Chains A and B, each alone.
Chain A
Amino acid sequence: MADQASDFLKDYQAMAQQSWDAWTRYLQQQTASAGPFGAGAAAFTPAGTSDDLMARSMAALKGYGDWLQGAVSSGMGQGPADWQQSLQSLFSTLGGQPFAHAFASIDSEAAKSFGQIWQSWMQANPQGMPGMKFDVEHMAAFGYTRERQRLQQALAAAMQDYLEWSGKYQSLIQRANNEGFERLQLKIAELTESSKQVESLKALYDLWVDAAEEAYAKIALSEEFRHAYGEMVNAQGRMRRLQQQQLDAFCRDMGMPTRNEVTSLGKRMHELRREVRGQRPAQEGDEVAALRAEVAALKRQLAGKAETAKPAEKKAPSRSGKRAMDEALDVRHPKASSVAARKTVARGVKRK
């Protein structure tokens, strides 16, 4: 019987492995032919484009595949007695960090781990820092290249700071991972007191997701997390600022416009735009006030003429004068203009 069970387990694992390998191969074929220019264009493809993006898209399914694979390898379902041991084994198979894997797979270009940036930077500056590592920040700077050395030192210190905060953040993620596992065990234990049972790997997975999210939410809302999170992002910002300063210096040397210069230009243009827009209503208001004053002056002028002119010489307002007044009033309010014009004319007629 023992041999039979053992054979079954081997077949079972072999089948899962084969099907998983087949799917992975399939994916690789898809990505290999995904480029519109074929394999010959590979040399011109930026690193981490099509293959990398496809892998990122499929990372979630890969994570679930790892889960299934882990379940098989851990002997889940082989012994009814010690389910806790099976679970432990499953999590060990997954490297103890299934939750952290969910984070890793959403890493993107914009949110790229600064660890990678640090590595790239180190690779780009191998001669300048042989054997110095982080001690470079404590080296006194002097001489012609003093300012650049200071910038490099500040950058090294900022990167060190970032790595420290990132480490604290990662340790909280790891804690969420562990507590998620503990919660899963509790949830499963609670099932023993009910009539419910977990009968599939998917159901077990869903239960783990619930447990992991609950544990994560508790930690993510804690003061410790918010502090680590904020400081990690701030450390990224400090590092980014120093990198930008370095890049700006490089651009200046090459006679290229810098990010700072473009930003300043954008700011000035925007301020100018706001100023112009802000003046527009005031200008429009001024125009209306000027027109009103003109209308009032015309009215006074007409009234004055009416008073001084002899009755025989009195005429209705000249066409040109009337039109000017009407137009002026039209600007203010079309309806009011016609009424006002009628009233003015009527007064003139009456006096006649």
Chain B
Amino acid sequence: MQPPLRLDPAALMGEIAAFQRKLAAGMDNLKHQLEPEYANTPRELVYREDKLSVWRMKGQGKPTATTPTLIVYALVNTVWMTDLQEDRSMVRNLLEQGEDVYLLDWGYPDAADRWLTLDDYINGYLDRCVDAVRKSAGVEAINLLGICQGGTFSLCYTATHGEKVKNLITMVTPVDFKTPDNMLSSWSQHLDVDLFVDTMGNIPAELLNWVYLTLKPVRLNQQKYVGLVDILDNPKELQNFLRMERWIFDSPDQAGEAFREFIKEFYQQNKLIKGDLIIGGKPVDLGMITQPVLNIFAEQDHLVPPDASRALEKHVGSTDYTQIAFKGGHIGIYVSGRAQREVPPAIHQWLSTRN
């Protein structure tokens, strides 16, 4: 039987020295880095209201799809994850496939937005954004592509404004908020969210980022940066890393009231699947969604466990339901190399038979 640790002192010395060398050399590279840019795919403004904007994304050629697709991102983080960098852009990939892509950028709420409710977001802002896209494209109904919390919003919207939605795509979207492996849900169960919002007002992004980091504290807060040392001497990789850091931490605060409602109604009471959710006086019944639905989730998602998304199949009213399990995590589903090869083509293929 051999010993499990074969740590040769000379090799260890070499390892430490190599680490120190890489770090010292890399620090100079860190000094000269500019703020990394996103892909910045050409776009034109279609609609603006308060702090939100709707952009029509422009590809090399004209879109071949006749129905536009509006991407609805979560309120946490920004929609630019879908257009992160030139070679890792879901938006560019969809444009290349011929889709007509619009993005909803929610903007950065401040104290003036403290009282925005889910009704304001879903029946107000989102509805007017959908109308703007319908008008821009000259169609009666559009495709919605909702991501994470934006997927949950899209489900609520489609259930209550179905006539304006032709096809619905949800990506890493929580539907059942109380699966046993949902750590965020577990932590929110004993939270006095009224007290929390009453005393915090808007919920600072920095606080939420801290919560996300504590889902995997050592991996996300330490191991990741140890790995950074290995790429400090590679300008391209370093830029990619810093770009991702920019996206992760450049997050909007959360409007207090909407946060209160989302935690209470969804995380604590799981009303979306219980069928007793009411937003702005409108009952939200997933059974009312009869449009074709494509549900894509990530198998290694630590923020939205796969089962939280899989639950949609059981509750949605559509008879045309497709589910895709992606091998990756919550973010990898947009930016990994495999995601570029697999996800946009799958979306395009699914849409092309339904537009």
Q: How does the 8 Å CB contact mask read for A178-218 relative to B, with 1 for contact and 0 for none?
A: 00000000001101110111111110111001001100110
From B115, which residue of chain A is reached at the shortest CB distance?
Answer: A270
Residues of B within 8 A of A263 (CB): 114, 201
* Among listed A74-82, A120-128, A142-150, A301-309, interface-contacting one: A74-82
Within the complex, what minimum Cβ distance (angstroms) separates A196 from chain B? 8
Residues of B within 8 A of A78 (CB): 9
* A209 engages B219 (CB within 8 Å): yes
Q: Range of interface residues on chain B?
A: 35 or more
Question: Cβ of A61 < 8 Å from any Cβ of B?
Answer: yes
How many Å lie between the Cα of A60 and that of B222 in the bound state? Answer: 4
Q: A191-B4, A192-B2 are in contact. Are A234 and B15 (CB under 8 A)?
A: no
What number of residue pairs across chains A and B have CB atoms under 8 A from each other? Answer: 202
Q: How does the 8 Å CB contact mask read for B95-138 relative to A, with 1 for contact and 0 for none?
A: 00000000000000001101110001000100000000000000
Question: Cβ of A229 < 8 Å from any Cβ of B?
Answer: yes
* A61 engages B114 (CB within 8 Å): no
Within the complex, what minimum Cβ distance (angstroms) separates B137 from chain A? 21
Q: Contact check: which of A86, A103, A221, A240 meets B180 at CB < 8 Å?
A: A221
Question: Cβ of B34 < 8 Å from any Cβ of A?
Answer: no
Q: Which of A30, A109, A237 has the most chain B CB atoms inside 10 A of its CB? A: A237
Q: How does the 8 Å CB contact mask read for B160-193 relative to A, with 1 for contact and 0 for none?
A: 0000000000000000000011010011111110
* A12 engages B222 (CB within 8 Å): no
* B2 engages A197 (CB within 8 Å): yes
Residues of A in contact (CB 8 Å), total 80
Residues of B within 8 A of A109 (CB): 206
* B4 engages A197 (CB within 8 Å): yes
Secondary structure call for the B interface: helix
How many Å lie between the Cα of A225 and that of B27 in the bound state? Answer: 39
Q: A189-B4, A201-B16 are in contact. Are A240 and B210 (CB under 8 A)?
A: no
Q: Contact check: which of B5, B13, B201 meets A204 at CB < 8 Å?
A: B5
Q: Contact check: which of B3, B6, B13, B200 meets A240 at CB < 8 Å?
A: B200
Identify which of residues 215-230 in chain B touch chain A, using a CB-to-CB cut-off of 8 Å.
215-219, 221-226, 229
From B19, which residue of chain A is reached at the shortest CB distance?
Answer: A68
Question: Cβ of A171 < 8 Å from any Cβ of B?
Answer: no
Residues of B within 8 A of A241 (CB): 195, 198-199
Binding site for B on A (CB under 8 A): 8-9, 12, 15-16, 19-20, 22-23, 26-27, 30, 60-61, 63-64, 68, 71-72, 76-78, 80-81, 83, 86, 99, 102-103, 105-106, 108-111, 188-189, 191-193, 195-202, 204-206, 209, 212-213, 216-217, 220-221, 225-227, 229-231, 233-234, 237-238, 240-241, 244, 259, 262-263, 266-267, 270-271, 274, 277
Binding site for A on B (CB under 8 A): 1-9, 11-13, 15-17, 19-20, 23-24, 27, 31, 111-112, 114-116, 120, 124, 180-181, 183, 186-192, 195-196, 198-201, 204, 206-207, 209-210, 213-219, 221-226, 229
